[in-house]
Amino acid sequence: MNRLKIAAGNWKMNTTLNEAVQLAKDYKNGSRANNVISILGVPFPFMHAVLAELEGSDVHVAAQNCSEHDKGAFTGETSVSMIKSIGANYIIIGHSERREYFGESDALLAAKLTKCLEAGLTPIFCCGEPLQVRKAGTQVDYVKSQLKNALSHLSTPDLEKLIIAYEPIWAIGTGETATPQQAQDMHKALREYLEELFSIEIASHIPILYGGSVKPANAKELFACEDVDGGLVGGASLKADSFLAINNSF
C-alpha cells in the first residue's frame, strides 16, 4: 500500500516571532523531496505570520492543540474554527506533554478529535507509552487502549483523514530513540489493531508516524521500516537544515 509520507515538526513552546518566520522561510526555500508532505507545528501566536510566509508553498502548518469547545467563555483556549480561519489545516492532538502536564484524558482527546474533524481539519493524533510500561513489556496493550478510547467513535470518512503518531514517552526529547525494530513492531501491532477495530482498508490507509528523538542520523533507518510512514519531530525541527535532512530521508 502506498501511504502518504509525512515529515511533521513540532516546535513546542520555542522561537520568537522573527525566529519562527525565518525558520519557516529557510525550510520553505530548502531543497525538499517533493513526494513528502511537510508540516510545521507552530506556536499559536506565530501561526498567522508563518502561514503568510508559506503562502503559495507546499509546506503546511499545524496547531499544537485545540479546545474541545466551539466558542465562548474559555479564557486562554483556542477553538478549531479559529485555527481554520487563519488557514491552517492540521492539529496535533494528544501529545504526551499535553496528556502529562495538562491532564488530557482519552475522553477529552476523543472530543477534540471530533471538533477537529467536524471542521474539516486533519488531526495528528499522538499515542505512546511511558518508560515503566515499556519496562513491564505491556506497551502494545497500553497504546492499543489509547487508540480504542480516543478513536472508536470515528466514522470511516473521519478515519480516512486521520494521521497517528506513535511517540514512546521515554524517547521524546531524551536523545534516546526507539530502535527501528521497536518502532516497526509497535506500528505493525497498531495497524493490525486498526484492522480489528475498523477495517483492512482503514488500517492500510492511515499514516503512522514515529516520534521520539528523530534526527538526520537515524531518520533513514526508521523511515525504511514498512509500517513507519514518517516522523513527528521535536528538537530536530527547530533547525531548517536538520528538518530538511529528515524530510529527505525517505
- Residues at the site binding ligand PEP, with contacts judged by CB under 6 A: 10, 12, 95, 167, 172-173, 211-214, 232-236
Asked whether 144 and 189 are in contact (CB, 8 A), the reply is yes
Nearer to ligand PEP, 14 or 204 (CB): 14
Nearer to ligand PEP, 202 or 244 (CB): 244
Nearer to ligand PEP, 166 or 250 (CB): 166
Nearer to ligand PEP, 45 or 173 (CB): 173
Q: Is 95 a catalytic residue?
A: yes
Shortest gap between Cβ of 199 and ligand PEP (angstroms)?
A: 28
Q: Is 167 a catalytic residue?
A: yes
**Residue of 53, 129, 167, 205 marked catalytic:** 167
Shortest gap between Cβ of 231 and ligand PEP (angstroms)?
A: 8
Shortest gap between Cβ of 172 and ligand PEP (angstroms)?
A: 4
Which residue is listed with cell 467536524? 118
Shortest gap between Cβ of 227 and ligand PEP (angstroms)?
A: 18
End-to-end CA distance of the chain: give it in Å, rounded.
16
Which residues are marked as active site?
A: 95, 167
